[in-house]
Structure 1
Amino acid sequence: MKYLFGLLLLLFQVTTPTTYAQTAIPTASLQISGEGLKTLSLSEKDLMAMKSITVDVKGHDEKQHTYTGVLLTDILNMAGAGVGEPGKKNTITSYVLVTAADKYKVIYALAELDPLFTDKTIILAFQADGKPLDQKDGPFQVIVPGEKRHARWIRQIVSIKLIAIP
């Protein structure tokens, strides 16, 4: 019995660091790409230099929070997407794929971001209640005010890709 306990303890000590080493730790940069876009790598500092907005919403914890961030459309336009420009024919046949550090993925139709189609405000947040997002949520998180479920409030974002359906 002592031998078995010792073996289990040794196994735990050997596998624990490996488990942590394989866990994705979010980086402080965000990759923006897509067909017809210039590829960008944005840091938290880059995002903080852009025009920011705040939204007051109930968070995952059901408490009211103030998130500060940048419109997702502004980030896409920085890469050359032209969201909100009249006459863009691919708006209703394109989507935005957002990927988290743990490979969780969320899709947003480009039309639901475009101010010519909606008044919805979807932001890429870098602060909650005046403080940088914690490691669990940050450094970047999409906030979608008005959604009943927070399944598309993707956390620890590492990439945003614009994809057009042919």
Structure 2
Amino acid sequence: MNQTCAFAPPARFTVVGDVLRPARLAVADLRAWPLRRVRVSFECATSGVRHHRFEGPLLHDVLRTSGPSFDPARRKDRLRFLIAVTGGDGHHAVLSWGEIDPDFGNAPVLLATRIDDTPLDPHGPQLVVPQDRCGARHISGVTSLRVDGQYVSPGP
């Protein structure tokens, strides 16, 4: 019997934008950061309450490694930075740097490497926002994280 095993290459995602060190990473690379485990329940509009277990590093830790280009001497400078997350299925979410920064919101947002003990290597990481009641910002198969510090509030 002749069987051929075709292994898909691991999904990769990019960290781009206003960072000093853009990166192209795979789920396996995310295991270099300290991993957190969380249990999450969220309401899905079509299927009701969903319960999952996720494991992965904090989004903040991963993005800090890429060197966001805010001015470290001006503490509030980082508050104008936004993070745009894109999934392979076309879903998008935007978070603010202040949400995930330990000096401000300190939200434990993850880039999950596992869901319910299943590795996400072939699909890409999942953005997990544990504090959200609705799972709409849980982005599967993340393909891009874009850090954008160009936002400047309009004048009065």
TM-score by length of 1: 0.73
Determine the structure 2 residue equivalent to 1:133: 120
Measure how far apart 1:105 and its partner are: 1.4
Residue 41 (str. 1) matches residue 41 (str. 2): no
Identity %: 27
Cα distance in 1 for partners of 2:11, 2:148 equals: 24
CA–CA distance in structure 2, aligned partners of residues 131 and 86 of structure 1: 42
Q: Following superposition of structure 1 onto structure 2, how do residues 12-161 of structure 1 map, counting pairs within 5 Å?
A: 28-58=11-41, 60=44, 62-81=49-68, 87-133=74-120, 138-161=123-146
Change (3 A) 1:56 1:41: same
Bigger radius of gyration: 1
Residues matched between the structures, number: 139
Query: Where does structure 2 lack aligned partners over 5 or more consecutive residues?
Result: 1-7
Larger relative helix fraction:
1
Structure with the larger RCO, 1 or 2 (CA within 8 Å, 6+ apart) = 2
- Structure 1, unaligned stretches of length 5 or more? 1-24
Q: Give me the TM-score of the superposition, normalised by structure 2.
A: 0.77
CA shift digits 1:15-68 (9 cap, x unpaired): xxxxxxxxxx99611100122431101112111222111111125563432200
